[in-house]
Structure 1
Amino acid sequence: MNNNNLQDSGVKLLCTGLENINCKLEILSLKNNCITEGGCHVLAAALNSNPSNLTELDLSENKLGNPGMKIISTLFENVQCRLEKLNLKNNCITEGGCHVLAAALNSNPSNLTELDMSENKLGNPGMKIILTLFENVQCRLEKLKVSE
C-alpha cells in the first residue's frame, strides 16, 4: 500500500479488515501515505483489538512525529503483539519519541528484532535512549538502523 496518499481516512477503512478475526495479514507496508497521529490511533486500536498475525509494519516516510510514536508504542504493551520488524524511518521523531518507545519495549518482552529509526531527529540524547534497549536482557533486537 506504499505511496498511495491514503491519509488517515484511508487507514481507517483499511483497519476494518485488520479488526476481523479472520485476518491473516503478516506484513503491512504503509510507506509514504501522509499518515498522522489520527491514523496511528485507528491503526493501533485495530491491532490491539485483534493482535492478528502481523509481524512486519512499515510506517516510514509519514508524519507520525512524537504523538504518533506514543500511539504506536502501545502495540508493545499488548503481550499478544507479534511485531518483529518496525520501520519508522523519516517520521520527525525526536528524543521524546525515543523515550516512549524505549519505555514500552523495556516494560514488556517483545518479539521486535529489527527497528529502523533512520532519518529522524533523534540527536545524541535520543540515540542514547534507544541504545538502552540493549541493556535489557529481554531485548531481542538484532538490527537497528539509525542513519542520518
Structure 2
Amino acid sequence: MQTSLRSGTLSETELKPDQCSALAYLLLMSEEVLEEFDLKTYNTSEEGYQRLLPVVKTCKRALLDGCKLTYESCESLASALQTPNSPLRELDLSYNDLGDRGVELLCVGLTSPLCNIHTLVLGQCGLTEGCCSDLASVLSSPNSQLKQLELRDNDLQDSKVALLSAGLEDPDCKLHTLG
C-alpha cells in the first residue's frame, strides 16, 4: 500500500473498503499536511469513499465533488471540521446529494470555534430553501471563518434567500463572496 501511495499507482487499482481504511490510517498517522486531497483520484466504492473521509482533517484543500456522498457523510465531515489545529481551509462538496439535512449537519461543524474553513462549495447538492436558515446561522456566527460560499445550481427560493441576506448583514459575517 505504501509503495503504491508513493508511486501514484493507487488510483489505477480499485480499492476495497478495508484498503481505504488502511490508506486513511496511513494518511492520518503521517505528520505531513496534504496541500490537496482529491477523493475522486481513488477508484473505490461509496463505502470506500466514506472510509477515506476522515483524511480531510489533514489537508488544506479537500475536493470531494462528485463522489456520491449523501447527508450521512456530513456527520463525519462535521466531526472533521471540529478537529483542533486542522489545516483544512477549502471544502468542495459539489455534485453530491447532501440535501438540506446534510447542510444542517455540516453547519454544526462550521459554527465550531475549531473550524477554519474559508471556502465552502455546495454547488448542485440538492439544496432547497430548507437549508437557508442553517447557512444564515453560520454566516452570523462569530466563530465562522467563512469568506466564500458557492451555492450554484440549487433550488433556493427567493423568499428563503432573504434569510441568507440577514446572515450577510450580521456584523459577525466575514463572507466576501456568495455565488
For the aligned pair, the TM-score class normalised by the smaller chain equals 0.7 to 0.9
- Unaligned runs of at least 5 residues, structure 1: none
Query: Within 2, Cα distance between the matches of 1:84 and 1:94?
Result: 23
Residues 69-91 of structure 1 show CA distances to partners (whole Å, capped at 9, x for unaligned) of 10111112210211000000001
2:31 counterpart residue number: none
2:126 counterpart residue number: 92
Instruction: Tell whether 2:75 aligns with 1:12.
Output: no
Instruction: Tell whether 2:160 aligns with 1:140.
Output: no
- Aligned-residue offset at 1:36: 0.3
Query: Within 2, Cα distance between the matches of 1:50 and 1:99?
Result: 26
| 2:139 aligned residue (57, 82, 105) | 105
| 2:110 aligned residue (70, 76, 90) | 76
What is the TM-score when the length of structure 2 is the normalising length?
0.70
Query: Within 1, Cα distance between the matches of 2:45 and 2:162?
Result: 32
Identity %: 29
Instruction: Tell whether 2:157 aligns with 1:123.
Output: yes
Which is greater in Rg?
A: 2
- Aligned-residue offset at 1:44: 1.5
Instruction: Give the secondary-structure state (helix, strand or coil) at the position aligned to 2:47.
Output: helix
- Unaligned runs of at least 5 residues, structure 2: 1-37
Higher relative contact order (CA 8 A, sep 6+): 1
Q: Which has the higher helix share?
A: 2
Query: Within 2, Cα distance between the matches of 1:18 and 1:62?
Result: 16
Taking only aligned residues, the RMSD between alpha carbons, in angstroms, comes to 2.1
Query: Within 2, Cα distance between the matches of 1:6 and 1:102?
Result: 35
Structure 1 residue ranges, 4+ long, deviating more than 4 angstroms after superposition: 2-8
Residues 20-51 of structure 1 show CA distances to partners (whole Å, capped at 9, x for unaligned) of xxx3x100010111100111112212332445
